[in-house]
Structure formats: structure tokens, C-alpha cells
Structure 1
Amino acid sequence: MDSRFASIVDEIYEAAFIPEKWLRVLDLISATADCAGSTMFLAARAKTHFIASDCLLRTYEDCVKAGVMELSQNPRASRMLAKNHPGFITDTDVLSLEEIETHPMYRLGLRPTGFGWGTGTFVPLINGDMLVFSCEKYFDKGPVTPAGVSALDELRPHLARSAAISARVSFERMRAAIASLAEIGLPAFAVDGACRQLAENNLVDELRQYVSHGAFNTVQFRDRKADRLFRNAIRSIDRDGPGTSRSFIAYRPEDDLPPAVIHVLPIRKNAHDIFGRAEAVVVANLPNPVRHPNADILNNIFDLTPAQSRVARSLLSGKTIQETASELKLSRETVKSHLDAVFVKTGTHRQSDLVILLSSLLIRSG
């Protein structure tokens, strides 16, 4: 093993435990095959997550948004997968030159940005996901050569082992984070983009009266309205803008039990957590005696403006709309307008529900 190859292998294994290093690895394997850049993305998931070399990022983002990277729309990927070959395969191995010239992935996605030739491989992960490494070459430099494929094949076993470790490390980090919430008295669990539960802490039994599980461990709230808000929150995580409210109240329809307040905390995706299966952490607690929550909490969790936060805190203290208007030196109509905005941002519809929701932000102790 020459020193340059050994150095690349070292960096591949470094990425197993330091996920931020995967972008550097993608650049290294691209150079090995005389390609401009590489991507790494997960297939057969509720959602597609990927990281890419800087030169490819915008191109792949556009292709993913257009849907041409999905297996059903991407003949290069689907035919590579069908071959079940434990190595890299070039586009010319699975597509005719006419297909390369005419398929939307090339014609509308890769070619306009200068690309047009590539090679890739599928790596199955122990959790059932499929990882794809893809190297793209500029069109004017011609197809990926057999020598380039051979070099990538030498690196592939190391890429596969390192990726498997990264996936496991990511899962253990997620479990540790969920478990830590139990230490401050919060039942919590993690879900993926299809609302499937992936991990939970030891307090989650407190939620059994509010939550059930369907096929494939899919989380379902017994309260239909809460379930609808929950699913909307998960669907809205990657949309532009604030999206649907991520905090709501869940009742137990059959019993006269205290309502649980549910907070859906999105896990934001970036380059270093492609292996994280969770899309959100769901945290729950029961209401506490009403006190004044910190204004910063209201602003940060619900994106309230300062004026909306002042109105919410005043109403939470038990004041009426008229008393709040007098205290804040605002008209009754202005207070009602702020209150309507607070209802929208918190997913509530009545002042009593708002009080329950906001009081839950004062975390239980003891």
C-alpha cells in the first residue's frame, strides 16, 4: 500500500468517528478516480439525505428537488442496484449513450453544470438503509476510466466499514441524548420522517395513555387532533418558513386525565449527521403550577414577537384581555390581534389551552 493510498484510508476511518470529515473523504476519493466531486446519500428511507462536494452540492440539490434521483426515476441507480455488484459501476456499464444523452438526470441536471459522466456503488448498512457513493466527472473529460474504477474499488471496503461505524455511532449518540432528558424528568422519544419511533427514554411509559404504536412502530396519538398536529409537524420540518406548530396539547379521549403538552423538536440536517435516522425528538410533560415563563423561552420556542410574548405572559398570569390591554397600554383590538397570532404559532385555539401549554414550559422538578 503506497503512502498516498494509506493516507486516504486513514482519513476514511477517521470519518467513522468524526462525521465532519466525510466531506474531506468525498474530495479525496473523487481525485483518486480523476473525478470532480462525489456525493454520499441514503436510499430506501422516508426521506433522502445526502452530502456532496462543494462543486456538486447545488447540482444534486436541484436533481433531488426535481425527483430525478429517486430510484424509480433514476435508471443509473436502479440498474446499478439490480446488478448487486460489490464495487463501483460506471454509467456506461448500465446505460446506452442514447439514454445518457436524453435522460432528464443528465440533460437537465448534470449536463447544464458541466458534468455528464459518473460511477457509483451501493453499500448496505446494518440498520437496513442503503448508502450510495457517487463520483461525478466533467463531461469534457470523458467517462470514468477502468483505472479510476479500480482505484475506487480498492477503497470501497474501507468506505463500507467506516460508514457502518458512523451509522452506529450516530444511533448511540441519539439514544444518549434521549436518555439524558429523563434526568430532568421529561419523557421523550425520537422519530423518523415516517413517524416511526427509533429510541425512547425510561420515562416514556408515562405517555402510554396518550400514545399508541401502529405497524412498523409508527407513533400514533390517541387524540385525533393531536395526532394530526404531530404528523403535520413532522412533515413541515424541512419546509421553508416556520411551518406548522411544533407544540400542542394531547388529551386522553376516554378519560378525564390531565392533558399532556407535546413539543416536537426538529433535528436539523447538515453534512455531519447524514447517518442520523431521526427527524425529530418528541418531548412531553404535564402542566406545572402557573408562573411566568421567561420571555426568551416563548420567543425561541414559538417565534413570538416581543409584543406577542408580553400579551401571552399577561394572560398566563390570569388577566383578562381588557386588563392586559390596560396594563400594556394597548387597545383591546390590538391585544386580540396579538392573541390570535399567538394561537396560530402555538397551535392552540382557546386561552385555557394556551395557559396549559405555556405553563408546561416550567419543567417539573423533583
Structure 2
Amino acid sequence: MRLIDALFACTLENPPWVSFLEAMEQYIPCHHATLVLRKPRSGDPGVLVTLEGHADAIVALQERVFEASPFLELPEGEVCILSRMMSEAELADRHPGYYEYLHTYGQVTDLIGLDLAEPVTGMIFRLRGARREGEPRFGEREQKILEALAPRLRTAFAIYARFAHQQYQLSVLDDAAEQLAVGCLVLSQDGRVLLKNAVADRWLAQQDGFRLWNGVVRCLDPQSERLLRTTLAAAAASEGPGDAARSFRIRRGGERHWSVLVRPYGVRAALGEKTASAVLLLVRDADQKPEVSAGVLVELFGLTRAEAVLAARLTNGESLTEAAQSLDISRYTARAQLSAVFAKTDTHRQPQLVSHILNTVNSVWA
């Protein structure tokens, strides 16, 4: 029961899975309990979760030993035991590098493992445990424990995988907003902040034209404050996210302004029962020309990194010859990359490409 409790509780921990691995080592029992979230590959150390004290063994596995391991890829959903797959003599003969690794790090004589695939995200979870010299090999008892645990492991892995996938998507969107210098906030009808990205957080802290007051966004200029309240109320009263966006400006110091786009945003279960309506605010510096960077163009048009770097230089005013020289590539290579950019952006000439990129970058405010 403690093992099952730890399994689901650990998905909320930071880092996750540690308490489950601790419980697994005690209940199975075993040593070196490890969860592989992404297997090592050449040039990629992968992502492995293990307990403190195993760092040297994990580094060695990530750097070189994974290539020699007969226990890295197991049949999906099947509990496997190394000593049942091959004898110690066979392991030493067929996989001498891996055999030496097991005995160098912890005098390991047996392994137990289970691989489970999560179909929605494509993640594969690889759970491993070890027995040391002088301890009995894994047997039917340990196999039955993991087999009985497998359905719950699938559920816990699915919860974690889908949450991690959503977090990754959010991080990509947040990075794009950072590069485009767009502050994103989700507000309740009265202006209370429900969600915000890092750009908005930074601008609120500067208190340049607007700020947080008891968790509510307030404009420092009275006219801008009235506009904000009126626009929030109108957006909150709209039918839903498909309704037209509203835009206005927030006065800052001097003659500067923030451009604000307001859209109705559907209330989600995650916002809680007290939130009757929600509004999305997109904020940018009205006086700042949007920066066209390679990262932005990769996100917007699906360009390769090399194509995006070239397109960004052209958009920022360089000629094709100047861009080729500054990137230390031949004009032939630059023209080939430009042709690929034309195809991906559905443009045919350089001025048309530049105009299309600038219009697309600005279209978030259309």
C-alpha cells in the first residue's frame, strides 16, 4: 500500500519519482532503483531519475555503458530479470563492458526491469532495480509485485507524461512570447491576475504605466484605468473566445504607450469555481519595433535554424550578399537557403518576403 501511495504522490514532487524509488528499494527490496524517462543515446545523456549516491554510476551509464547494455530495451509491459535472460558467465562473455560496469559500481549481480509505453506522448518509462553480491537473485515474488503494480504504473506514468508534455508546450509558447516581447495575462472580470507569463511579470514589477495592487492589475493613468475596466467588462460579457478582440492603449511615462489586445477567454475547470469569466490580455511596447530573431522565424514558419538566421538578417536590412558574408557562407548557399525560405513562406521575391515576415510578426495585434 505504501508503494502505491508513493507512486501517485511522487508525481507532484519536485523532483518527481524520488519517494517512489525510495519505497521501491525498501519494499522489493532492491538497490539502485532508477527510472529512465529518456534513454541515453550517442551525444544525448538522456533523462534518468535515481537516488543520491548513485551519481558516478549514472554518469558512466550515460556516457558510454548504455551502448553495451542488454537490459536497456525490454519487451513492453513484461517484467524482466537479467539472471533469467542469461547466466553470469554468458553476460561476461557476450557483454564484457556491461559486466565490468555492474561489478565496478556496486557489485551488482542481478537486475529487474519493466518498460511501459505511454501512447499519447510517445514516452517510454524504463524502471530498473538491482541486487548486489551476496543477495539472492530476483525471483517470482519480485516479478509478481511489479506485475501487480504495472496497471497503476501505467496510470501514474500517463498522468506525468501528459502533464510534462503540456508543460513543454507552455514553455515553447512562453519562449516565443519572450522573443516577440509580448506580455500575456489571463484576468478575471475585475482584473485579478489568474495567470501571467514571465514578460508580463517583469513589466508589472517595473510599474511603468500599470502594476499589481492586491493581485489586481491597475493602470497609473486615470483615463487608461477607466478604459481597462470598461474593456474587461465588455470582454467578460462576450459570448466566448470566438468573439472579436478589443484593443486600447495604456499611457506610460512621457509620450510612450503600451498596446493592449483583449480577448474573451473561456473559463476552465483549473481556474476554480469563484471565477465566473476570464479575459486574455496581450501587451506589447507600442513604441518598440518587434524584434525579428531567428528563433521567432523558426516558430512562425517552420524554418531550419540556418534558413531562419538568413531570413532574420534580410528582414533586419541586410542584402543577400551582406548576409552571406556575415554568416561566412557562399552566395550560392545563401541563394539555396533563400529559395527554401520562399517555399515555406509562400513568397517569391525578397521585398515580398520581408513584408510578409513583418506583417506576420505584427499580426498578433490585428
| TM-score normalised by L of structure 1 | 0.48
| TM-score normalised by L of structure 2 | 0.48
Higher relative contact order (CA 8 A, sep 6+): 1
For the pair shown, the structure with the greater C-alpha radius of gyration is: 2
